[in-house]
Amino acid sequence: MLYLVGLGLGDATDITVKGLEAVRRCRRVYLEAYTSVLTVGKEALEEFYGKELILADREMVEQEADSLLKEADVCDVAFLVVGDPFGATTHSDLVLRAVKLGIPYKVIHNASIMNAVGCCGLQLYNFGETVSIVFWTDTWKPESFFDKIEKNRQNGMHTLCLLDIKVKEQSLENLMKGRKIYEPPRYMSVNQAAEQLLAIIQNRRFQGEKPEITENTICVGLARVGALDEKIASGTLQQMSTVELGAPLHSLIVTGTMHPLELEMLKLFSVDSSSFENNACQRTT
């Protein structure tokens, strides 16, 4: 049996009882280590679970999945995922591979950022398409995520923006030369995401457009959701470019039309309450 086990968002104790029982039954336990991170390290998980964990990086899961599934037809193997197992499409591929090999699988769900984001007070059913904001480079500055955010906002919907994670990435030079040398991990902050959005707004205006999203659009910055030191800040997009939320992981919400109750909740986390008086009240129903 292959078990796909969600670990939740905070620390080792967020695993469900059902998930923990499955982990302790398994002969091999893999920890997916590239789509998200917990606030505690691998050693803390091993101590709590009573099991040695094998780190599974992107290369192993996407290119060597058969080795991960080896013997799963005759013994129990667990694949641990921060959040919920299906928070990333990569894990659907793992299930499909298991089915083709005749290996039964079981999914044990847990909380993910996709539902825990409701902690800020915005209603989950008012969210549109989730988008990913990627790190720009000197030569690659995509704007497609901005178009999706604008479409959501035009429809009155909020947008959850998942911010880029770079773990075990190679420089172009090392990749071309086949050298297994990796760059230090990088995690996009709310500040960086806001700065890229602000740059797109300026660029669109320069092209004669009037973006639906402006510097004064109300946004929410979230950091380490589910952890003891969780932090939430609400305010304008401009304010999100300077707000201090600390260590990763960060997420950003761009609001759409807000119900008065949503607005009242966001005020609990406001950087400056005057931001809401000047802007948000124009987009409530």
Residues that constitute the known binding site = 9, 84, 87, 112-113, 163, 225, 250
Q: What's the CA gap between 159 and 151, in Å, rounded?
A: 10
Distance CA 14, CA 84 (A): 11
The DSSP result for 35-48, as a single string, is S---SS-HHHHHHH
| HEC per residue, 242-257 | CCCCCCCCEEEEECCC
Show Cβ contacts of residue 16 under 8 Å, excluding neighbours closer than 6 positions: 6, 8, 108, 109, 110
Give the CA count within 13 Å in the CB-facing half-sphere of 130.
12
Distances, alpha carbon 184 to alpha carbons 125, 181, 187, 248, in Å: 37, 10, 10, 14
CA dist., res. 111 & res. 48, Å (int): 19
Q: Which residues are annotated as a binding site for S-adenosyl-L-methionine?
A: 9, 84, 87, 112-113, 163, 225, 250
**Residue 234: CB atoms within 10 Å:** 30
